[in-house]
Structure 1
Amino acid sequence: MLNDLVKGKRVLFITTRNIDYIRNSQEKKLLEKNAESVEFIYSTKHSYPLRLLDIYGNIVYEKVKGLFHKGKIYDCNIVFIGFAPQLVLPVFKSFFHEKKIIIDFFISVYDTMICDRQKFRDGGVIAKICKFFDEITLRFSDYVITDTKAQADFFIKELGAVSEKIETIYLEADEKIYYPRTQVKSDELKDKFVVLYFGSILPLQGVDVVLETIRKLKGRDDIFFDIIGPIPQSLQKPIQSNVRYTDWLSQEELAERIASADLCLAGHFNGSIAKADRTIPGKAYIYEAMKKKMILGNSSANRELFREDAMHGFVTMGDSNEMCRLLPEYINKNEREQSKIAY
């Protein structure tokens, strides 16, 4: 167990994502609770290439300091590499000599770039390079963290990960921001059944299924869709009276909008990208923390944590017709619940 591995140890935490990223915050909290001490190497630069250069420079600087028996690398027992260890470990493995190396293999470069986003042809040179960096990163590691068991199985079968070195730790929402609160609707929505969806609009999330559902329910004035995220023009979002689009909100504003919804769409809803079946959407953890009813894609990963009940419904991934049939059922349930409360 990770808790046991870091207990009483001096840990150096390296990440290429912003330090308040949901996964980094979770691991930072875990390490600070269990380790003797935790030092950090990360960057606050907004540009990812500049952030990498900043981090690389800090690692080199700390290694040079170590020549004089001081510095973060010299002082630690464990090097924990968070987001995208493929961009750090293959480059600096020799710097971490005799240190135990733990990585969070949150994403596979090969799976993300080739299978999920399909940026390059599978079997081509770029695909082989991506797979090589995944494989060598796993080989260089002493312990590997994944976010679902389904992902762990994929890494074992496709990338040669060793099952004995893997632990699955599910994501957690930031409960300082996302917590249960009283539902408050604006005057124009108080008589509507509000269905909320938010996301970064990646292909595996299946926002096209959500948009197709909205399109098919154009005549349902009793349903209002609140869609948050930068939807590209290529998806041709339906413009109609029962939908609102918002490109971006702060986390605090997002939490308020979620609180005002009657039902939240979690996903993943894409039915053709294999990674969608192996990952639990981050928004599902947020909805769960806020105790909101949600609809999830019927995936292997979602079934690891959630069961069908009053708070959780499942739809076949890629099937907007099924979602169209399910939403009125939630409206009817909501009306019955409201009647009981009024009575």
Structure 2
Amino acid sequence: MNRKLRVCYYGSYDWNEPHNSTHILGLQHAGIEVIECHRPAAAQRDAAQHYRSLFRTLAFAWAFLKNSCALLARLWRLRDLDAIVVGYPGFFDVPLARLYARRRGIPLLFNVHISLYETLVIDRGYFKAGAFAAALLKWYDRFLFRYATVVLTDTAAHATYFARLYGLPREKFQRVFIGADPIFAPQPPRSQPPGCTVLFYGTFIPLQGIEYIVQAAHLLRQQDGLRFEIIGRGQTQQQVHALAKSLAATNLTFIDWVSREELVQRIADADICLGGQFGLTPKAELVIGYKCFQMIAMGKAVIVSDSPGNRELLRHERDCLMCAPGNPEALAAAILRLQRDEALRRRLAQESRKTFEAHCSLRAIGEELGKIAAGPRVSIAAPPAPRRAQAQPFVQQPG
């Protein structure tokens, strides 16, 4: 290529979402010029926050329409672009971006990583699969995916799943790992009391399977010095807290959301990090959690579920420990193993950072995106096939 690749990152996306920030920074690290055409979606919500029912809906629709028209006007003035990337979530930005991409004859990349139907119907259960709302969501997802030249997904397993679910060519979906913002980097822990800290954080959605972490903590309640921290709040929070109370899990502490800087420090302080996803929803099999990327970016010893998504990046006993999802006994056995084997913890921590640098660094992400944006379509190779985790019995021992 004789000139620098120019890519427009477009939409009402949230810059703080890892989907967006790592991809923008990655493109820049790979030497690609990125022009951000962006108006945040928060402005749309703010315009409607004082309205209710129909009036609130109309106010939101009007704010969204104005926002979209302003974005398109800015995009239309841009010249010499090689590709457009619609940022996450972008579900309402694709149609207008497609108008420009088609007129200019350039590819449109949809950085979505999730679908509305999969998330709201299959994973979180907000709508029943046979409901009209579910059918509408599935139709709209397929409409957007057909409009895009390429749909970016977080794993190849997710890409294959989307292709089958929506009846679209597998080649339309390309995997680019999400990675982690530069703030998630190795740093020394603060002074800690004796013992071993196990950390998990999340939004309490079903795929995370936080209830199994609580049950594992209960199984390990007699292990001296072993303490669990769970940070976050969300959909299943009340049920999880009630479970912890019923089990009298005294070795477990719930912490509300903390600042990103404090979160980074708590990851650094932890001895064992739980990267998920431990739930039994179909989506849990397909994804690699944000937290997992952040934890390995900081060079931590992680435990993850033995799933197709996780196996695309991580290898059992090489750079992580894997355990069966939805299985508190298997999770407890993995935690106990790492608690008792400090050498293994150190080795896994070192290898997890190497894995991140090789496959999930900003430059690696940018180079993959650059290949896709420049075309022709390329096949993104996975790391070497990992070894599956072998189940290990949980043995409760005092001390």
Class of the TM-score when normalised by the shorter of the 2 chains: 0.7 to 0.9
CA RMSD after TM alignment: 2.6
Counterpart of 1:88 in structure 2: which amino acid? Answer: D
Structure 2 vs 1, CA of residues 206 and 337 (structure 1 numbering), >3 Å: closer, same or farther?
Answer: closer
Return closer, same or farther for 1:50/1:270 CA change in 2, 3 Å cut-off. farther
Counterpart of 1:249 in structure 2 is 258
Which residue number corresponds to residue 168 of structure 1? Answer: 175
Q: So what's the TM-score if we normalise by structure 2? A: 0.74
1: CA distance, partners of 2:164 / 2:31: 32
* Structure 1 CA distance for aligned equivalents of residues 70 and 44 of structure 2: 21
Larger CA deviation: 18-27 vs 287-296:
18-27
Alignment of 1:68-147 (within 5 A): 71-76=74-79, 77=81, 78-90=83-95, 93-94=98-99, 97-99=102-104, 100=106, 101-147=108-154
Where does residue 331 of structure 2 map in the other structure? Answer: 323
Aligned length: 322
Percent identity, please. Answer: 25
**1:76-110 deviations in whole A, cap 9, x for unaligned?**
43332111333222466446541432111311111
CA deviation after TM superposition for structure 1 residue 154, in Å:
0.6
Query: How does the TM-score come out when normalised to structure 1?
Result: 0.85
Match for residue 66 of structure 2 among 53, 57, 62: 57
Cα distance in 2 between the residues matched to 1:222 and 1:12: 51
Q: CA deviation at 1:336?
A: 8.7
**1:302 correspondence with 2:310:** yes
Aligned to 1:40, what secondary structure does the other structure show?
A: strand
* 1:57 Cα deviation after fit: 2.0
State whether residues 315 and 323 of structure 1, in contact with CA within 8 Å, keep that contact through their aligned partners in structure 2. yes
Paired letter, 1:114? V
- Structure-1 separation of matches of 2:333 and 2:175: 34
User: Greater relative contact order (Cα 8 A, min sep 6): structure 1 or 2?
Assistant: 2
In structure 2, the CA distance between the partners of 1:49 and 1:105, relative to structure 1 (3 Å rule), is: farther
Q: CA deviation at 1:170?
A: 0.3
Question: Structure 1's 61 and 85: CA in aligned 2 closer, same or farther, altered over 3 A?
Answer: closer
In 1, Cα distance between equivalents of 2:151 and 2:159: 9
2:86–2:97 Cα contact (<8 Å) kept: no
CA distance in 2, matches of 1:335, 1:34: 39
State the 1:74 CA deviation. 3.3
Q: What SS does the corresponding residue of 1:87 show, helix, strand or coil? A: coil
Counterpart position of 2:373: none
| Alignment CA distance shift 1:48-1:183 (3 Å) | same
Partner Cα distance (1:62, 1:222) in 2: 54
Instruction: Identify unmatched segments of 5+ residues in structure 1.
Output: 66-70, 339-343
Distance in 2, matches of 1:216 and 1:50, equals 49
Q: Deviations over 1:249-296 (max 9, x none)?
A: 11110111111111011110012x110000001111111111100100
| Whole-Å separation in 2 of the counterparts to 1:50 and 1:116 | 30
* 1:277 is the counterpart of 2:285: yes
8 Å contact from structure 1 (residues 90, 136) kept in 2: no
In the alignment, what sits opposite 2:39? Answer: 42
Aligned equivalents of 2:147 and 2:344: distance in 1? 57
